[in-house]
Amino acid sequence: MLISEAFELYREREVIAAGLSSNTDESYIYAGHHAVDFFDDVDVKTIQISDITKFYEHLMSWQKPDTARGYMVCFRAVIKYLKRKKYIKLDPEDIKIPKREKRIVEYLTESEVEEFVEIASQKRRGLPEINRRRNLALVELIFSSGARIGEICKLNRNSIRDGQFVTVQKSKEPRPCYVSERAQEALDAYLELRTDKNPALFIANQTEKRLTAGNAQRIFRNLSQRCDLGRIHPHTLRHSFATCMLSHGVDLCYIGDMMGHQSLDTTKMYTHYENPRLKAIHKTVMG
């Protein structure tokens, strides 16, 4: 079986059939392309462990560590599937996956969030009022809910009811997200100016099509250029939401539920940056 055939088979049987996310499917598509580029489209049976090690070294020479690791995870999953189906004899346990690179979480303090909100609220020459209100509502909603930008972009006008909305997360399980009064006021002000029939909560006003994650990134890039906070991404506000919750003493379990984390270990990364209990202990001892 050729490498390209192996990846295609795995995608059909284990990714698409299982209803996994489009991002997961895309990861396997890219991993397959990189494997074919490196090995050529050879029979999978001819690949040895030493070849796979060289493949990882090749990926590391031009990809970010976490990206290279992700492709290796995909590669091993395909090999494991082929082994289970007795297509090959290569033991997937011999393929060692490097540990995930520890990342520094980028977030804004509450006062910095206020500064960023103020930037988004400012009127500017050449910026249509509807776009200004949209940008402000987008910023307020992300920080208020802690939702991912992809989840925000999928919302419709009628998605928010009684100060909350439900989104389907990566695990395919629904989770509630909550909207502050200030975020709701910003949304109402934005929607009052809308005359289109698009059901989407946020649209790209030039085309009146649903706002995409790429559109949102460009909005944030433009806003970042007007302040001294560095480059702010939509995900920065998601991290800021979590650290804000933690700084106000909210239990990690609740924060994890609101963020949609599958593991509490993921939520624990915020304790490295904002932990009111540790601060209180330090103050008691050190003054």
Mean pLDDT of 33-61: 94
Residue 196 near residue 189 (C-beta atoms within 8 A): no
Residue range 3-94, CATH number? 1.10.150
- In the predicted structure, residue 103 carries a pLDDT above the cut 60: no
Our separate counts of H helices and E strands in the chain read: 13, 4
Enumerate residues 6+ apart whose C-beta is below 8 A from 119: 223, 226, 227
- From first CA to last CA, the distance across the chain in angstroms is 68
Better-scored residue on pLDDT, 109 or 280: 109
Q: Which of 105-109, 149-153, 226-230 has the lowest mean pLDDT?
A: 105-109
Summarize pLDDT for 232-251 with one digit per residue, the tens.
999 999 888 988 888 888 88
Per-residue model confidence (pLDDT) at position 159: 95
pLDDT tens, residue by residue, 134-150:
999 999 999 999 999 99
Contacts of 231 (CB under 8 A, 6+ apart): 221, 224
Instruction: Give CATH 1.10.150 domain extents, the chain.
Output: 3-94
Whole-number percent of the chain with pLDDT over 90: 60
- Residue 167's DSSP bridge partners are 175
**pLDDT digits over 157-205, tens only?**
999 999 999 988 665 678 899 999 999 999 999 999 999 999 999 999 8
130, pLDDT greater than 90: yes
Band of residue 101 on the pLDDT scale cut at 50, 70, 90:
low
The class of domain 110-280 in CATH terms is mainly alpha
| Band of residue 268 on the pLDDT scale cut at 50, 70, 90 | low
Q: Which two tokens stand for residue 123?
A: 């009127």
The pTM for the full model equals: 0.66
Question: Which residue ranges does the chain devote to CATH 1.10.443.10?
Answer: 110-280
Q: Is the pLDDT of residue 258 over 90?
A: no
Nearest Cα residue to 98 out of 79, 80, 74, 72: 72
What mean pLDDT is predicted for residues 148-153? 92
